[in-house]
Amino acid sequence: MDVYLPIANLSVNGLYIVLLGGLTGILSGLFGVGGGFLTTPLLIFYGIPPTVAAASAATQVTGASVSGVLAHSRRKGVDYRMGGVMVGGGIVGALIGAGLFRVLQSLGQIDVVISILYVLMLGSIGMLMMREAVSSLRPGLLGKAGVQVKKRRHHPLVASLPYRWRFYASGLYISPLAPAILGMLVGILTMLMGVGGGFLLVPAMLYILGMSGNVVVGTSLFQILFVTMVTTMTHALTTKAVDLVLAALLLLGSVLGAQFGTQIALKAKPEYLRLALAALVLLIALRMLYGLGVQPDEIYTVVPL
Amino acid sequence: MAGRLILLAVAWATLSAQQEPILVPAVSQSRIEVRQGFTGARLLLYGAVIDPSATGRAGDYDIVVVLKGPTEPVRIREKERIVGIWANAGSSDFRSAPAFFAVASSRPVGEIVDERTAAIYELGTDFIQLSPSGQIDPEEQARFAQGLVELRRRQGLYQENPRGVSIAEKVLYQARIDLPSNVTTGRYTAETFAIARGRVLASATARIEVVKAGLEGQVVSAAQRWSFLYGLGAIALSLGMGWLAGRLFARA
């Protein structure tokens, strides 16, 4: 099924794109991550221009996180106050990201920076997740460091920030600057990489902010939902790289896949799921690292002036 | 005196035109529409060469067809290995890189004309006039130009087909040029040259318009002109689809 993508300016196999969206949808249903970290690189491997890939993937993540936010808000799993602060930071981050995007694009380094960011982030997070998954499956394999259940407490740096607010749903009394900065960092990444940033937000909210576990996923999805919306708009206005046809195909796959993933998640063991996610994240990081180190097929690239 | 000179020139021109064959070109499509399901197009450029002198046949000649897309200024970047990572290093600017360039000829161009004539009429991907700009030494510029040509050749945007023109009965010729799905829209020109004994005897130009039509055209113009509404549309689409799927599956 050949589909012509008007903004990407090429013809692709529509079925492949829907399947790709489905795969990331299953992931988001399984693990509660947006799946953008998978969509963008796979679209680039397929030959979609990186900018179009990042912009359209952000649009897809919006769709994938809607039903999640709705489900979590019904269960009172969203801290709106915390979420609002993070969205505010995220919007600032998206705008900073847009500026960075433009600077890096004019320097010709945007692709390399995106790849390096992917390798660094996915590599480190994949290692952490792998370590945790292995130690929870095989206690004692990695020594005692693995499943040490610490008393939940936020990072000392967070405690030192001024102007504290009360976040009742999260059970926190901390400065709003901490979640705002966190939101901003993730917003920059969303703009640059087309990722929702859930795989970064969730651990940061747990281990750095020290939020209570029952609101972490819902609040992270809330932040992702709004920041990807802003990112889509920023891309539409600045890079003009949002491909509606591409986004619609991805969305079709991912919203269906998400439901499928939720069904699997109910049946499978969470430890194995986390192990699988860790392996997948590491695999993509390795593939990107390989891509950076190996001589590329094309030494030359052309950009319009 | 001046009037006489002009008269003389006109007379000479018509006289010599009597000697030269006349080229009558045609194109299968003067407008190519890029719409949903577009996977490329095959363009047929055909025509006749008529010798106005007694026999009506033009004798032995070769035909070269050059199809050229809209030109645009581009920057070529070259990747280099920097501390183990392949990253963009040098760059070079060219003011007029055609988005598409195809040459079809009845024999390899090297056998038809000498290099100088080929360069004048741009009869080959090595002879595209890219108009380099900026201060770089010519050797480096040639390397970048070569890089651009090789890249676009692999993308199917620059083509050379030394047997792409067939001539029937020394009168009718036809050339096929394939446009890939990733062509740029704009105004294309097809130039046909009739060449004999290394000399261009006649040439003719036809124009072809490549446009995005239907839904595709609307999407592109909306993204460019009404960016804000386009962005809102994209957001609404994703929210709507996500919400709908959630509703449908929650009930099931």
* B15 in a structural domain: no
B184 at the A interface (CB within 8 A)?
yes
Rounded average pLDDT over B152-165: 91
Q: How far apart are CA A168 and CA A157, in angstroms?
A: 21
- DSSP-derived secondary structure letter, A56: H
* B11 in a structural domain: no
Predicted pLDDT of residue A193: 79
Q: How far is B111 from chain A (nearest CA, A)?
A: 31
- Do residues A178 and A209 lie in contact, with contact meaning Cβ atoms separated by under 8 Å? yes
Regarding whether B102 and B56 lie in a shared domain, the answer is: yes
Regarding whether B25 and B148 lie in a shared domain, the answer is: yes
Q: How far apart are CA A45 and CA A27, in angstroms?
A: 19
Task: For residue B78, give both structure tokens.
Answer: 């070259």
Which band of pLDDT confidence, cut at 50, 70 and 90, is reported for residue B250? low
Which band of pLDDT confidence, cut at 50, 70 and 90, is reported for residue B58? low
| Residues present in chain A in total | 305
| Residue B50 predicted with pLDDT over 90 | no
Q: Which residue of A has its CA nearest to B223?
A: A240
Q: How far apart are CA A305 and CA A261, in angstroms?
A: 44
Regarding whether B157 and B91 lie in a shared domain, the answer is: yes
Q: Where are the beta strands (DSSP E) in chain B?
A: 22-27, 31-34, 41-50, 62-68, 71-82, 85-98, 101-105, 132-133, 158-161, 165-168, 172-179, 186-196, 199-212
Predicted pLDDT of residue B192: 92
A106 at the B interface (CB within 8 A)?
no
- Most distant CA atoms of chain B, gap in Å: 95
* B251 in a structural domain: no
CATH number of the domain that B140 lies in?
2.60.40.3880
Mode of pairing for the β-strands spanning B71-82 and B199-212:
unpaired
Q: Do B242 and A67 touch (CB under 8 A)?
A: yes
Q: How far apart are CA B157 and CA A12, in angstroms?
A: 17
Predicted pLDDT of residue A96: 93
Mutate to test the interface with A, among B241, B247, B248, B249 (most CBs of A within 10 A): B241
Predicted pLDDT of residue B99: 92
- Do residues A214 and A117 lie in contact, with contact meaning Cβ atoms separated by under 8 Å? no
Mutate to test the interface with B, among A26, A302, A305 (most CBs of B within 10 A): A302
B40 at the A interface (CB within 8 A)?
yes
Task: For residue B210, give both structure tokens.
Answer: 């490549």
- Do residues B43 and B27 lie in contact, with contact meaning Cβ atoms separated by under 8 Å? yes
Q: How far is A47 from chain B (nearest CA, A)?
A: 11
Query: Considering only A115-119, A248-252, A253-257, B133-137, which range has the smallest mean pLDDT?
Result: B133-137
Which band of pLDDT confidence, cut at 50, 70 and 90, is reported for residue B230? very high
- Do residues A167 and A28 lie in contact, with contact meaning Cβ atoms separated by under 8 Å? no
The number of folded domains in chain B is 2
Rounded average pLDDT over A48-59: 86
Task: Determine the residue type at B99.
Answer: A
A9 at the B interface (CB within 8 A)?
yes
Task: For residue B44, give both structure tokens.
Answer: 């047929």
ipTM of the complex: 0.81
* B2 in a structural domain: no
Regarding whether B36 and B150 lie in a shared domain, the answer is: yes
Q: How far apart are CA B36 and CA B212, in angstroms?
A: 9
| Residue A296 predicted with pLDDT over 50 | yes
Closest CA to A129 of A283, A22, A261: A283
Q: Which residue of A has its CA nearest to B149?
A: A300
**Cβ contacts of A2 on chain B, cutoff 8 Å:** 37, 39
Does A13 or A199 have the greater pLDDT score? A13
Phi, then psi, of B130 in degrees rounded to 5: -90, -10
| Residue B102 predicted with pLDDT over 90 | yes
Which band of pLDDT confidence, cut at 50, 70 and 90, is reported for residue A16? very high
Q: Which residue of A has its CA nearest to B235?
A: A229
- The strand pairing partners of A302, in sequence order, are B76
Structural domain containing residue B242: 214-246
Regarding whether B105 and B224 lie in a shared domain, the answer is: no
B231 at the A interface (CB within 8 A)?
yes
pLDDT, mean over chain A: 81
- Do residues A86 and A180 lie in contact, with contact meaning Cβ atoms separated by under 8 Å? yes
- DSSP-derived secondary structure letter, A299: S
Regarding whether B121 and B66 lie in a shared domain, the answer is: yes
Predicted pLDDT of residue B6: 58
Task: For residue B218, give both structure tokens.
Answer: 């609307």
Regarding whether B131 and B91 lie in a shared domain, the answer is: yes
Q: How far is A41 from chain B (nearest CA, A)?
A: 17
Residue ranges covered by each domain of chain A: 2-142+154-293
Regarding whether B221 and B102 lie in a shared domain, the answer is: no
- Scanning the structure block, which residue is given the tokens 């693995």? A146
Q: Find residues 147-166 of chain B whose CB sits inside 8 Å of chain A.
A: 147-148, 150-152, 154
Q: Do A293 and B85 touch (CB under 8 A)?
A: yes
Q: Do B91 and A294 touch (CB under 8 A)?
A: no
Please report the DSSP string for B197-233 in residue order.
TTEEEEEEEEEEEEEE-HHHHHHHHHHHH-HHHHHHH
B34 at the A interface (CB within 8 A)?
yes
Of B86, B147, B232, which is closest to A296 when you measure between CB atoms? B86
**Cβ contacts of B78 on chain A, cutoff 8 Å:** 299-300
